[in-house]
Structure 1
Amino acid sequence: MATRTIMLRAGDARDIALVDVLMQAAFDPRFGEAWTRSQCLGVMAMPGVRLTLALVDDAPAGFAMTRSVADEAELLLLGVAPDFRRRGVGSALLRSVEADCRAAGVATLHLEVRAGNEAVRLYTGNGFAKVGERRAYYRSKTGQAHDAHTYSRSL
């Protein structure tokens, strides 16, 4: 399937069902990384939180959620539905997040990702550098421990 038009739009709490569907598709259930609707809504109610949705030819393809505080921001979640991976959706979302952060006066963007997550290629390919590691930070549904890697980039 060739990706044609990627459209990005701001989202809000009214989009929670769409975010939930995308998150369930994007995040491998073995690792238990998907947030619940109530977790998403709780975070979305905080100051400085922004949700961006990606649509490809009007089909939901991905989303990103960030939180900015002062001159720093964290990419809380970024998910791309499997059918739209490696077609520019993740990069488009990341560029949009970075542009929004710059416009808000953010100097540094941070993120945390499970070691071994394929998304690391997206992040490092877009200028993020590994700055830290938390051993055995995540637990899969089977109880297996996974390290968390933290990345940052200056904007």
Structure 2
Amino acid sequence: MATIEHPVCLRPGDSSDLDAVMKVMTEAFGDRYGEAWTRSQCAGILPMLGVSLVVAREGENIVGFSLSRSVADESELLLLAVLPSRHREGIGGLLLDNFVERSRSAGVTRVHLEVRDGNPAIEMYRTAGFRPVGRRRNYYHAPDGRRFDALTFAQDVFS
């Protein structure tokens, strides 16, 4: 994985970051595979107990984000996106490591995520210690009618 060329810092995000988060999501996911969430879905989940938004900032610009949810002793990475122009700089790995470490610090014993089969991020998840544990057939629905499987990955974490 390449190293980050510019200083990127992570900070907790909130609803005031939604415009920038939606810009990153639109650029990162587009509408090819049906992976992106709507603004109302993001706004609706943010106030829920156990939900965390983390933004990756470079100066005043948000270049990536993660959205996760913790319930009992498990955490789920709901979304992770980085601007395509910033791919392969280590920003996604930084966000992923932050998710795992925050989960571990909170006493979580297992973290998991779902990703579209064929998504290049799968290699990052495998490198970070996530292992495949399931498949949801035809989970993602593209606007053109195509369907794509979701792969479920998990990792046991211990404090």
Tell me the TM-score normalised to structure 1 length: 0.95
Distance in structure 2 (CA, Å) of the matches to 1:5 and 1:58: 12
* Structure 2 alignment gaps of length 5 or more: none
* Residue number in structure 1 paired with 2:124: 122
* Displacement of 1:137: 1.6
* Residue number in structure 2 paired with 1:65: 67
Q: Aligned pair count?
A: 154
Q: CA RMSD in A?
A: 1.2
- Alignment map for 1:24-63 (pairs within 5 Å): 24-63=26-65
> Deviation per CA, 1:91-139, whole angstroms, max 9, x where unpaired?
0001111111111111110100110011101101100000001111211
Distance in structure 2 (CA, Å) of the matches to 1:134 and 1:12: 30
- Retained in 2: the 8 A contact 1:49–1:68? yes
Give the fraction of aligned pairs with identical amino acids, expressed as a percent: 45
Distance in structure 1 (CA, Å) of the matches to 2:83 and 2:121: 12
* Displacement of 1:34: 1.2
* Residue number in structure 1 paired with 2:152: 150
Distance in structure 2 (CA, Å) of the matches to 1:148 and 1:32: 11
- Partner of residue 87 from structure 2, selected from 85, 90, 96: 85
Distance in structure 2 (CA, Å) of the matches to 1:124 and 1:58: 31
* Displacement of 1:32: 2.2
* Residue number in structure 2 paired with 1:113: 115
Tell me the TM-score normalised to structure 2 length: 0.93
Runs of 4 or more off by more than 3 Å in structure 1? none
* Displacement of 1:53: 0.3
Question: What SS class does the counterpart of residue 54 from structure 1 fall into?
Answer: strand
Distance in structure 2 (CA, Å) of the matches to 1:7 and 1:72: 26
- Retained in 1: the 8 A contact 2:21–2:62? no
- Retained in 2: the 8 A contact 1:132–1:151? yes
